[in-house]
Amino acid sequence: MTRIAGLLLAGGGARRMGGGDKCLRSLGGRPLLAHVIDRLRSQVGELILNANGDGARFDEFDLPVVADSFPGMAGPLAGILTGMEWLGAERPDVTMMLSVPTDAPFLPTDLVDRLLAAKGTARIACAKSGGRTHPPISLWDVDLAADLRRAMESEEMRKIDRWTARYPIVHVDWPVEPFDPFFNANRLEDLERAEALLA
What confidence tens digit (pLDDT) does each residue in 97-141 have? Answer: 999 999 999 999 999 999 999 999 999 999 999 999 999 999 999
Question: 23 to each of 19, 38, 99, 175, 185, how far by Cα in Å?
Answer: 11, 13, 15, 25, 9
CATH code, domain carrying 63: 3.90.550.10
pLDDT above 60 (res 14) = no
Q: What is the pLDDT of residues 61-103, one digit of tens each?
A: 999 999 999 988 888 999 999 999 999 999 999 999 999 999 9
Average pLDDT (138-154) is 97
Percent of the chain with pLDDT over 70: 94
Number of structural domains in the chain: 1
Question: Which domain does 171 fall in, by range?
Answer: 4-198
pLDDT above 90 (res 17) = no
DSSP string, 144-157: GHHHHHHHHHHS--
Band of pLDDT at residue 1, cut at 50, 70 and 90? low
H/E segment holding residue 79: helix 76-90
